[in-house]
Amino acid sequence: MAERKPLLSIRNVKKIFKTRDGELEALGDVSFDVYPGEFVSIVGPSGCGKTTLLKILAGLLLKSGGAIEVDQANFDPAREVGFVFQKALLLYWRKILDNVLLPVEILKMDRAPMKERARDLLKLVGLQGFEQSYPKELSGGMQQRVSIARALIHDPKLLLMDEPFGALDAITRERMNLELLRIWEEAKKTILFVTHGINEAVFLSDRIIVLSARPSRMVQALDINLPRPRTLEVRTLPEFGQYALQIYNSLEIR
């Protein structure tokens, strides 16, 4: 059987910011692989470079060292990466359908045939019927679902998500976790997900990358062998708590 090839290989990636007080090493020697169709989460203390790493992968920041290899020739982050930020960042003056179509305009794609895809994506994220609404007419969770549809509109290979549910209340966050798993299973995308929530990471992921405090190093790569499709009942399994405890121990949280 042919060996499975990673979609993304991150090797000893570093990021150093130059400040008035000297150099600040935000990210140091981070290495791991992401395979096609995987849901991989990154956890670690605040300021350890999780968001910085996503921005490097998206082409929004330049790395200071190391290598990033993608199993695709001429990989263009603008076209092959979708990014869901901590806030929905919708344009308040544009209707929901037009917000989803924004990357189509930026990438100079033909808008007419993409309108149907935008409608299909809004249906996928449970927002059929809200195409002509404005962002202010939607709840925070609904707005974040619009941002997921927007990140998928150009059919990227890799979806980067930077703590997208951190600002939501606990109940909405649980619902969004379930919604995200449904979308992931239907859209069949590769997801790299940043979160501070250890239980959230265990619930969502195939694998969890644990980073140390700055300058970050990878201290653990943990495979999560819990049954899929996942429901909230999986959180009651003894294995779930054992995975969470391993991460707490890696982060030296006592």
1-72+158-167+178-254 homologous superfamily: P-loop containing nucleotide triphosphate hydrolases (3.40.50.300)
* φ and ψ of 176, to 5 deg: -70, -35
Mean pLDDT of the 224-244 span: 95
pLDDT at 40: 97
Cα 30 to Cα 48: distance, rounded to the nearest angstrom: 11
Question: Is the pLDDT at 2 greater than 60, yes or no?
Answer: no
Instruction: pLDDT band for 46, please (50, 70, 90 cuts).
Output: confident
Mean pLDDT of the 28-35 span: 90
Instruction: pLDDT band for 168, please (50, 70, 90 cuts).
Output: confident
Q: Convert the pLDDT of each residue in 124-150 to its tens digit.
A: 999 999 999 999 999 999 999 999 999
Query: Could you identify the residue written with the tokens 């308040």?
Result: 92
Query: Could you identify the residue written with the tokens 């140390």?
Result: 212
For the chain, counts of helices (H) and of strands (E): 9, 9
Q: Which of 21, 32, 26 is nearest to 62 (CA)?
A: 26
Mean pLDDT of the 44-57 span: 90
pTM: 0.92
- The dihedral through the CA atoms of 181, 186, 188, 189 has a sign that is negative
Which residues lie closer than 8 Å to 73 by C-beta, 6 or more apart?
Answer: none
Instruction: pLDDT band for 1, please (50, 70, 90 cuts).
Output: very low
Q: Convert the pLDDT of each residue in 207-230 to its tens digit.
A: 999 999 887 888 999 999 999 999
